[in-house]
Structure 1
Amino acid sequence: MAFLGMRKWPTPILKPMWPFIAASGVTFYLVSKMQAMGIRSPEYANSPKNPYANEIARENAHH
Structure 2
Amino acid sequence: MSFLGKKFPAPVARPMWPFYISGLVILYGVNSAANAMATADEYKNDPRNPLVKNQGPNAAH
When normalised by structure 2's length, the TM-score is: 0.70
- CA 1:6–1:48 in 2, change beyond 3 Å: closer, same or farther? closer
CA RMSD of aligned residues (A): 1.7
Letter in 1 for 2:6: G
Regions of 4+ moved over 4 Å: none
Paired residue for 1:42?
41
1:3-54 superposed Cα distances (whole Å, 9 cap, x missing partner): x6124xx201011111110000000111001000000001101122222211
In structure 1, the gaps of 5 or more residues are 56-63
Alpha-carbon distance in structure 2 between the residues aligned to 1:15 and 1:40 = 39
User: What is the aligned-residue identity percentage?
Assistant: 32
Alpha-carbon distance in structure 1 between the residues aligned to 2:35 and 2:11 = 37
In structure 2, the gaps of 5 or more residues are 55-61
| Matches for 1:11-30 after TM superposition, within 5 Å | 11-30=10-29
SS at match of 2:6: coil
Name the one with the larger helix percent: 1
Alpha-carbon distance in structure 2 between the residues aligned to 1:15 and 1:51 = 39
Aligned residues: 50
